[in-house]
Amino acid sequence: MTQGNMQLGKQGVTDNFILTLKNHFKKHRDIKVHVLKSAGHEKQKIKQFSEEILNRLGKNYTSRVIGFTISIKKWRKEKR
């Protein structure tokens, strides 16, 4: 499977963003979310975006923040 890419802009994590992310996971196992400057380039803010995305997606996902990129991975089984 290939790796998908998305961008997170000034509107932040919206319902439409989560819906688009879920649709990307139908074709990809890994997705990189690039946080744009308009969304905020503070490490704490990017970690908050990552936590919010995971809370809204569910327990089958994990994330890792590297710089201004959030790497999200989908697992077959739920993580505890």
Domain span including residue 65: 3-74
On whether residue 79 sits in a domain, the answer given is no
For residues 61 and 33, the answer to whether their CB atoms sit within 8 Å is no
The answer to the question of residue 48 being in a domain is yes
Is residue 13 included in any domain, yes or no?
Answer: yes
Q: What span, in angstroms and rounded, lies between the C-alpha atoms of 13 and 36?
A: 12
In a domain, 25, yes or no: yes
Look up the CATH number of the domain holding residue 19: 3.30.110.60
Residue 34 and residue 69 in contact, taking contact as beta carbons nearer than 8 Å: yes
pLDDT exceeds cutoff 70 at 79:
no
Whether the per-residue pLDDT at 80 is higher than 80: the answer is no
Judge contact between 57 and 22, C-beta under 8 A: yes
If one counts the domains in the chain, the total is 1
| pLDDT tens column, 33-68 | 999 999 888 899 999 999 999 999 988 999 999 999
Q: Is 80 among the domain residues?
A: no
